[in-house]
Every structure is written in C-alpha cells, then in structure tokens.
Amino acid sequence: MNKQRKPYKTYTREFKLEALRLMEETDRRPSDIAMELGIQLYKWKEQLETKGEVASAKKGRPRKADQSETAKLRQENKRLKEENEVLKKAAVFFAKELGSTAWMQEVE
C-alpha cells in the first residue's frame, strides 16, 4: 500500500498577513479561523513575532538557472573528485591484475 503524500500548499505573504489580521482583529477564535482556512495560524504568528515577518511562498533550493557561479563550480568540483576516485581505484585494480599476470608468466 503506497500512499502518496499531498503536495505542500504555499500561501502568499499577503494571504498570511491577512489571516493574522483576522485573528487579531475579530472576536472569532483563532482555531476557528485556522480550521476555516485550512492553515496553522500560530506558526505564522510565531514567525512574525520572532523574525518580524512571515515567510514568503518561495521555498526549497534555487533552480539550476538561479544558482550562483560559485555553487555551480562547487558542484562540478565534487563530481570531478568522485570521478578521480573511481579512476584511482581502477588504476589500482589494473595494476594488481598486470602484476599477477607477469608473475604467472615468470613461473611458466
């Protein structure tokens, strides 16, 4: 039974601020507002109090087109190091193979 999770909903900064305004300025319970909107108001309120703003709708790491040149070079450097390690292991393997073959020829 493979259950796929629902994708995260993203809300604009304006939506979040409006929801928080509703919570502060109306007589309705915050839990009722949150249930109606299907959100977690207290998390956004905490963000507003600690950071001075709520998070924007953007999330996750930047797309490849948006990455800085430094990030691209780091990624390429990592790939090249991995390829270098594979080549070193292959060289050791073939050196051992050649060494054992030469020894066998001397015995014969």
- In the chain, domain spans: 9-58, 70-108
CB-based contact 53:47 (threshold 8 Å): yes
Quick check: helix, strand or coil at residue 29?
coil
CB-based contact 95:48 (threshold 8 Å): no
CB-based contact 55:47 (threshold 8 Å): yes
Q: How far is CA 70 from CA 65, 74, 93, in A?
A: 13, 6, 35
State the pLDDT at residue 107: 46
* pLDDT tens for each residue of 30-84: 888 888 887 877 777 888 788 777 766 655 555 666 667 888 888 899 999 999 9
pTM for this one? 0.43
Q: Answer with the residue of higher pLDDT: 5 or 84.
A: 84
> Taking 50 as the threshold, does the pLDDT of residue 93 lie above it?
yes
